[in-house]
Amino acid sequence: MTPPFKTRITDLYGIRLPVIASGLMWLADPVYVAAVARAGLIGFMTAASFPNVQALREGIRRCRELSAGKPFGVNIMIRVSRDGTDRVNPLIDAAIDEGVKFVETAGNNPEAYIRRLKDAGITVLHKVPGVLRYVKKAESLGADAVTVIGAEAGGHPGIEPVGSMVAGAAAARAVKIPVILAGGIGSGEQLVAALALGAEGVAMGTRFLVAEEIWAHRQYKERLVAAAETDTTLLLQSMRNTQRALKTPHVAMIQQLEKSDPVDTAAILPHIMGTVGRKAYETGDVEKAMLSCGQGVVFADKIEPLAAIVDRIEAEARVAMARLLSLRGDGT
């Protein structure tokens, strides 16, 4: 079947659909990312999920074996270590040495690293909140494309979250590099809408959490299938680290701690550590953790193979495009 869309994003990555499976902390491992690749999209393994650099190297090799020659990438979080340790360059070393062609950067300003990635022939996609100054900065630094995250996204939508409809249209007008829109997106209809806004692709995270290839406990996935678009909430604004997460008693407790005056950051930190979330993924005890989740969880309605999810998204997009064409006023 002929692919329904051809954009600069499908050309940039050599993929069937202009859909990116963004890095998912703890979950975007070789098995999942390879499944994304085989389904005709591109996914990014999260480097921060690996215990050390050697494990990342082995993960890259494993993903290459499983991907059947299809493209995949690595997500590298740009961050400053509290103890001064350089946690970024060793990951870049591994990506370059292992022949990775695509990297997704996120977090802090990638200026200190982006030229090195580009000089190694790596295509760089930088992820930013939906604020135009960040979008323009990514372009000025030489990013090949930029993912703009709207307020509906799971994880970190930024200190001043901007809705996806506004962020996508504004970003597409502001830069010449391809824009990928993320935030609450989990259906083919939304893919078509994003393209209409001027974006050249979308990024999905929450929608794919119910894929069978995601290693997390089935009980966690069943909780997502049962969730509505109103079952997420924002927290950590007091720490200037806004996060959208699934509503749980654990999250409600953190929000209550944030109401203290002054905010007791030391009391909050133990409850938001990544290891707490990882344990919940392992055990399925979702209610005792803060787990990133976007409003697009409403579309995650069934636990099934990743390829089946992608097939549904493509079918939805084809129907949406046909509907738009039927609305043309000139009758053509």
Going from the C-alpha of 46 to that of each of 49, 50, 53, 198, 219, the distances in angstroms are 6, 8, 12, 28, 23
Closest CA to 153 of 250, 234, 258, 272: 234
Chosen CATH of 8-216+302-326 out of 3.40.47.10, 3.30.70.270, 3.20.20.70, 3.40.50.720: 3.20.20.70
Q: How far apart are CA 331 and CA 300, in angstroms?
A: 36
Q: What is the pLDDT of residue 85?
A: 81
Closest C-alpha to 185, from 223, 212, 157: 157
What pLDDT does residue 262 have?
A: 87
pLDDT for residue 1: 72
Rounded to an integer, what distance in angstroms lies between the CA atom of residue 285 and that of residue 163?
Answer: 31
How far is the C-alpha of 74 from the C-alpha of 70, rounded, in Å? 14
What's this model's pTM, rounded to 2 decimal places?
0.95
Mean pLDDT of the chain: 95
Note the pLDDT of residue 331. 61
Predicted confidence at residue 2, as pLDDT, reads 82
Task: Give the residue among 259, 255, 282 at the shortest CA–CA distance from 271.
Answer: 255
Q: Please, are residues 70 and 37 in contact by the beta-carbon 8 Å criterion?
A: yes
Residues of the chain with pLDDT under 70: 331-332
- Check whether the bond before 71 is cis (ω within 30° of 0): no
d(CA 324, CA 311): 20
Q: What is the pLDDT of residue 184?
A: 97
The C-alpha atoms of residue 179 and residue 149 are separated, in whole angstroms, by 10
Tell me which H or E stretch contains 133.
Answer: helix 132-141
* pLDDT tens digits along 246-269: 999 999 999 999 999 889 999 999
Structure tokens at 50: 């690996």
Are the C-beta atoms of residues 86 and 108 closer than 8 Å to each other? no
Give the up-direction half-sphere exposure of residue 317: CA atoms within 13 A in the CB hemisphere.
26
CA distance 68 to 59: 15
Q: How far apart are CA 19 and CA 205, in angstroms?
A: 10
pLDDT of residue 332: 60
Q: Would you say 58 and 96 are in contact if contact means Cβ atoms under 8 Å apart?
A: no
**What length does the chain have?**
332
pLDDT score at 145: 98
Which amino acid is residue 242, in one-letter code? T
Question: Where does the chain hold its CATH 3.20.20.70 domain(s)?
Answer: 8-216+302-326
Q: How far is CA 103 from CA 41, 73, 126, 218, in A?
A: 15, 5, 8, 30
